[in-house]
Every structure is written in C-alpha cells, then in structure tokens.
Structure 1
Amino acid sequence: MHTATARYAGHLRTEATHTASGNTILTDAPVDNHGRGEAFSPTDLVSAALGSCMMTIMGIVAERLALDLTGVTYNVVKHMAADPRRIRQIDVQFQLPAKLSAKERTVLENAARTCPVALSLNPEIRQEVQFEYAG
C-alpha cells in the first residue's frame, strides 16, 4: 500500500494525502522561490518532520519511563544554501520541564538525536539541537 498519494494543484502547490488516514498536506513554493508561501514548503516539511520525529521518539521513551511530556514544545529553524538550493542546517530547540533528572534528560536527548528522520537526513545537513529545561 502507498504511504501517500499526491497531485500537483498548479501555481507551485501540491496536495498530498496520507493513504491510511485521508489527512492532507498542502505545500507551496516559498516566496523567495517564485511561490505564494501560503503553506509549508517541501523543505519546511523536512525541517518540521525532524522536530516531530524527535518529539515522537522522546514520547515513546517517556511513556516507557512513566514520564509525562504533555505540553513539551519545540521550535524549528531551517537554513537554506543557495547553490545548489538545499537545506544547509536545521535548528531544533526543545522546551522541557526542569523537574526531569539528569539521567532522564540524557536518555531523552539521546532518543531525540537518534530518531529515524535524524538518521535519514544527509550528513551534510547540520542538525543543531538544543534542550532547555525550565518551569
């Protein structure tokens, strides 16, 4: 079975449908590359997927350790290279609860850095990951 199907909607927009759920994602070319920038660009999705994968794997580990990560947030910043046009670096910054022990922090941080998307990205794409503990 296909993971997703997609169609070109014109005007540098695509619409992808997740086969199992029917959920859809629109993409637009970014404004700096002739697009409207009204939706995620494909490279935005790659960057967001990195943060999402890291958070998901941390969530799996947290459940195993009986930790509640509900409400944890992260921000992603994508840096592009011009020639050739490609993702140069992705910064991911997590905000986690201060109450986590040093051991729990180490386990969660390692889980994030070894998520499938992080391991799948070209090694030339620099991944800068920060973990902030507050609250």
Structure 2
Amino acid sequence: MTVIHSCYQGQLRCTASHGPSGTQLETDAPTDNQGQGERFSPTDLVATALSTCILTIMGIVAERHGWDLKGCEARVDKTMTSEAPRRIAKLTVWVKLPAHLSDQQRTVLQRAGEQCPVKRSLEGAVAMEMVWN
C-alpha cells in the first residue's frame, strides 16, 4: 500500500506528498473552473497517470526483452464535459514508438501498453482512445 498525503493550501491549490519518497507536487484548479491554472489540475494528473503508466509498462516489457525504448513518447488530450456534472469526458493518447522497432516488437509493446493498470482502472468510467504511431 502506498500512502499519499494531500493538504488544501487555499486559493484552490493543494499539495500532495508521496509517502515512500517524500516527493511533493502541487495542484491548481484550471482557469475554466475558477483556478489560476498554474499547476497540473487533479484531472490533468489522471491524464498524466494514463500516459506515464502506458510508457512505464512498455518500458518494463522492453527491458525484459533487451529492447531500446528510449525516446518513446506519449501525448494525451483531456476533454472535459461541457455540462454538469464536471468530469473527464475523454482521454485520447497518441503513442510514438521509436522507428527502429520491428513490427513484432511494436505489437508486443502496444499490447502491453493497452493493459496498463491506469487504463484498466479507468475503463468503463472514462472514454479512451489510443492512437499508435
């Protein structure tokens, strides 16, 4: 179990501390929801968790096989609902695999990325689209 401690700082900002490492981050409400938009918003962190989870799981698989995945990138577009209640409507993730990978390696990595824990946790609650390049 991992413990994360969060504290409201006022002015729609929070800090969060990662228990095992002590690393801290700050969040801010987005400008379209009364905030200053100067930090990741909580829903931005959900989108970030999805893209970094995909990259991490593919990295685990690549390391297991001795494949070089350095430079692999993911971009995620987060779309919020326009009507109440406010929530994430859709996450679209573009994954750019290194050009030197074979078709077989790409297939294995894509399959692994599609099964990342964050994606599996969000399925059924948030619409997601994966675009592989």
Partner of 1:110: 111
> What is the CA distance between 1:73 and its match in structure 2?
1.4
Residues 22-73 of structure 1: per-residue CA shift (max 9 Å, x gap)? 1111100000000000000000000010000000000000011110111211
Amino acid of the residue matched to residue 98 of structure 1?
A
Unpaired stretches in structure 2, ≥5 consecutive residues = none
Q: How does 1:60-75 map to 2 (within 5 A)?
A: 60-75=60-75
> What is the CA distance between 1:124 and its match in structure 2?
3.6
Residues 80-133 of structure 1: per-residue CA shift (max 9 Å, x gap)? 11322100111111121122111111110111111000000141411111121x
Partner of 1:97: 98
| Cα distance change, pair 129–122 in 1 and its aligned pair in 2 (3 A) | closer
Instruction: Tell me the distance in 2 between the aligned counterparts of 1:4 and 1:42.
Output: 14
TM-score, normalization: structure 2?
Answer: 0.94
Amino acid of the residue matched to residue 78 of structure 1?
K
Instruction: Tell me the distance in 1 between the aligned counterparts of 2:102 and 2:32.
Output: 44
Partner of 1:56: 56
| Cα distance change, pair 12–92 in 1 and its aligned pair in 2 (3 A) | same
Structural RMSD (CA): 1.2
Instruction: Tell me the distance in 2 between the aligned counterparts of 1:2 and 1:72.
Output: 27
SS of the aligned residue for 1:91 comes to: strand
Question: Contact 2:78–2:88 (CA<8 Å) still a contact in 1?
Answer: yes
Structure 1 segments of 4 or more deviating over 2 A?
A: none
Instruction: Tell me the distance in 2 between the aligned counterparts of 1:3 and 1:90.
Output: 26
Question: Contact 1:88–1:124 (CA<8 Å) still a contact in 2?
Answer: no
The total of aligned residue pairs comes to 132
Question: Contact 2:4–2:17 (CA<8 Å) still a contact in 1?
Answer: yes
Q: Larger strand proportion, structure 1 or 2?
A: 1
Question: Contact 1:95–1:131 (CA<8 Å) still a contact in 2?
Answer: yes
